[in-house]
Amino acid sequence: MTIYFKNMDIVVPGDIIARGDYKIIEGAYKLGDMIVAEVIGIVYIKDKNIKVVPLEGSYYIPKVGDIIVGKIVDYNPVSWSVDIRAPYLARLEASDYLGRPIDPSRENINRFLDVGDLVIAKVAVTDRSTNPQLVAYGKGLGKITGGKIVYVAPPKIPRILGRNQSMIKMIRDITKADIKVGNNGVIWVKARNKELEELVIGTILKIERESHIPGLTERVREFLVNGMKKLELGDK
């Protein structure tokens, strides 16, 4: 067992923190016998436990299987470049959006997605030698329109989702809003009116600010219920 960093050192994605039989609490992953940092953060080492606490505002590091909300920023005849809040752009092949091959001599892909459009996609491939590859064909994936976007620090997404997605389910149940949460810290909200969308966004930002304070779930529930009452009174 070998440790390469001291307690409370700052690590960046890809740093090998240690080798050997250590337990990962958060912020790292195993690669063979290596413990590798997956976020920019402060490493804490105690006994055989290793935890990397993300620094506030860390950029997003894509992982295969992540769901992201991205923005189209460029395209060529067969694919789009997508801003996913990572240090590099992702690539979305036209066939992985349309679910079929495309003939670039006959079809212009900007008919389907143009610069500025938003998509919900899944990270299909990611490694250090190429830009992340996305798939946006399938249930729950594809172009999104309307609604509003809120940006949060990617490390806060687990708290916004809650254990077994309990927190986001509570928000959806109370507000009846359509909410898509990207692992990249981009959240799309669409509700029956702008006031309700603002309430949902305010709730999400409250979770981000207060995620470290005990009793978060009940505070969020109270915030939502009071906000809904005010909106209902305003409608009368």
Count of other CB atoms within 10 angstroms of residue 57: 12
Question: Helix or strand or coil: residue 189?
Answer: strand
Q: Amino acid identity of 230?
A: K
Domains and CATH numbers, the chain: 2-54 (2.40.50.100), 67-144 (2.40.50.140), 148-235 (3.30.1370.10)
Distances (CA, A) of 43 to 6, 123, 168, 223: 8, 26, 29, 34
Q: Mind listing the pLDDT tens digit for each residue in 117-163?
A: 999 999 999 876 678 999 999 999 999 999 999 999 888 899 999 99
Question: Helix or strand or coil: residue 111?
Answer: helix
Q: Mind listing the pLDDT tens digit for each residue in 29-84?
A: 888 899 998 878 889 888 889 998 776 555 788 889 999 999 999 999 999 999 99
Give pTM, 2 decimals. 0.73
Q: Amino acid identity of 12?
A: V
Distance of CA 135 to the CA centre of its chain: 15
User: pLDDT tier at 234 (50, 70, 90 boundaries)?
Assistant: low
